[in-house]
């Protein structure tokens, strides 16, 4: 009897220790979500700045997003295999180191004043971020029950949005600050300080993740395990449709953010200078942050697919409203899309990897591969903006949100074999 009581006590202590360990891991991982959100949002400031520096049209300026998010297409599947071999924690450290090197490359790019070198630096930086995404996203979904995975990932994504909310003020101050004291110096040199600061921060994070002990999870794939023993993630229809959902979601979100500064500079929209318009981007990403904190609670009580459907319809309505109005209404309706974007990425991701089992690492790589939508959709919208005008070009994100509504209602259902 005493032995049985001792066994129960040991089991309770073990469960408590596991919960504490998972909680610590979740708190630690939020720093990564903050950092890559911060870095990604700086592109929205970099686009108008380098557009003016090198006298680019919209299509050429969108090569910034094409190279940044193109890295997801090139690196995601190799990153999934890498993480499967070395583990999620070492994958995080590797991603941080590569991202730090990419930030460091901004120094020679700014000195040489060659646009192509900026694009190369962004590609290397995004390659590191890709490895981080492949490592951290499935790790977060596995730190607890499958039923609350959407809620958990939404919570960590809220800190990603905190990074995107803070970044516009940081970027506007360091990159456009010369506007306040006199004629702006537009030659690419203002990028040196912010990206060197980011390089230092990433190196510090890499050192921290080398030292901390994260819990081992069942989704870790043993090095000796044969790939043939794992069902291919491509054989899950809800994952494939989810990958398309990630493609169009990231494309729509990035497209809108990329055009905000130039959109608000239009005489019939806001007629704002770049320094002021850059700070308004914080409302777009701030809305996503607020929505994710709220969504982390809501997602525990309501069906994730239905919530995704409602948010997608709301975002589509606001984009169409902005396209057909002017002035403050056009500005604030497009900024409000951020609130509806809030739960989309973590919800699509968690719905897509649900039920994959040991194919989770492979599925995560496929979903991160789909983030390449952030490369193609903005570039296509740039072509549309050059030919139809910046306001009419927003019909492309509206179409993207229509697909996400479909995925939430129908495409996310798991087909049982």
Q: Can you give 20-42 as a three-state secondary structure string?
A: HHHHHHHHHHHHHHHHHHHHHHH
pLDDT for position 265: 93
Report pLDDT for 187: 60
Contacts of 170 (CB under 8 A, 6+ apart): 38, 42, 194
Report d(CA 191, CA 176) in Å as an integer. Answer: 10
Asked if residue 222 is part of any domain, the answer here is no
pLDDT, average across residues 315-340:
96
Report the distance separating Cα 36 and Cα 136, nearest Å: 11
Does a structural domain hold residue 65? yes
The first and second tokens of residue 47, run together, are 């686009």
Whether residue 150 is predicted with pLDDT greater than 70 in this model: the reply is no
Residue 1 has pLDDT above 60, yes or no: no
- Structural domain boundaries enclosing 110: 18-212+232-411
Please report how many Cα atoms fall inside a 13 Å half-sphere around the Cα of residue 187, on the Cβ side.
6
| 221 domain residue, yes or no | no
122 alpha carbon, distance to own chain's centre: 15
In a domain? residue 109: yes
Identify whether 361 is part of a domain. yes
Most confident of 16-20, 77-81, 156-160: 77-81
199 assigned to some structural domain: yes
| pLDDT on residue 324 | 96
Q: Average pLDDT of the chain?
A: 83
221 or 70, higher pLDDT? 70
Summarised one tens digit per residue, pLDDT across range 85-98 is 888 888 889 999 99
CATH number of residue 201's parent domain: 1.20.1250.20
Query: Is 108 within a domain?
Result: yes
Q: What is the pLDDT of residues 187-234, one digit of tens each?
A: 677 888 899 999 999 999 999 888 877 766 554 443 333 444 345 778
DSSP code, position 187: S
Cα–Cα distances (Å) from 354 to 238, 289, 293, 304, 361, in that order, read 9, 24, 22, 12, 12
Tally the domains of the chain.
1
Q: 34 or 359: whose pLDDT is higher?
A: 34
Report yes or no on 223 lying in a domain: no
Per-residue pLDDT tens over the stretch 118-143? 999 999 999 999 898 888 777 776 66
């Amino acid at each position: 009897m005493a032995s049985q009581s001792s066994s129960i006590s040991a089991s309770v202590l073990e469960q408590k220790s596991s919960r504490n360990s998972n909680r610590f891991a979740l708190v630690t991982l939020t720093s990564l979500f903050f950092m890559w959100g911060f870095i990604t949002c700086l592109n929205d400031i970099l686009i108008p700045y380098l557009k003016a520096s090198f006298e680019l049209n919209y299509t050429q300026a969108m090569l910034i997003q094409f190279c940044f998010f193109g890295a997801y297409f090139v690196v995601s599947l190799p990153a999934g295999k890498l993480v499967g071999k070395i583990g999620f924690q070492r994958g995080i450290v590797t991603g941080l180191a590569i991202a730090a090197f990419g930030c460091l490359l901004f120094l020679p790019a700014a000195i040489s004043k060659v646009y192509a070198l900026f694009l190369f630096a962004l590609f290397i930086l995004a390659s590191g971020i890709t490895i981080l995404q492949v490592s951290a996203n499935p790790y977060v979904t596995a730190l607890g029950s499958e039923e609350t995975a959407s809620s958990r990932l939404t919570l960590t994504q809220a800190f990603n949005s905190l990074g995107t909310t803070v970044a516009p003020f940081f970027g506007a101050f360091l990159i456009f600050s010369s506007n306040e004291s006199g004629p702006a110096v537009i030659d690419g040199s203002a990028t040196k300080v912010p990206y060197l600061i980011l390089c230092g921060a990433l190196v510090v994070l890499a050192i921290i993740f080398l030292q901390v002990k994260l819990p081992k999870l069942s989704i870790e794939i043993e090095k000796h395990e044969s790939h043939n023993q794992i069902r291919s993630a491509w054989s899950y229809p809800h994952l494939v449709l989810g990958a398309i959902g990630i493609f169009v979601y990231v494309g729509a979100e990035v497209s809108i953010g990329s055009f905000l500064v130039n959109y608000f500079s239009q005489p019939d929209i806001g007629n704002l200078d770049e320094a002021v318009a850059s700070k308004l981007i914080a409302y777009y990403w701030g809305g996503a942050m607020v929505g994710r904190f709220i969504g982390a609670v809501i997602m525990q009580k309501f069906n994730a697919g239905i919530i995704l459907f409602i948010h997608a319809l709301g975002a589509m309505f606001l984009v169409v409203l902005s396209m057909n109005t002017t002035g403050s209404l056009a500005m604030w309706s497009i900024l409000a899309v951020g609130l509806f974007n809030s739960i989309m990425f973590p919800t699509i991701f968690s719905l897509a990897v649900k039920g994959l089992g040991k194919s989770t690492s492979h599925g995560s790589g496929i979903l991160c591969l789909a983030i390449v939508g952030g490369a193609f959709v903005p570039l296509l919208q740039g072509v549309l903006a050059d030919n139809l005008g910046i306001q009419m070009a927003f019909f492309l994100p509206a179409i993207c949100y229509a697909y996400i509504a479909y995925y939430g209602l129908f495409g996310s259902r798991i087909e049982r074999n």
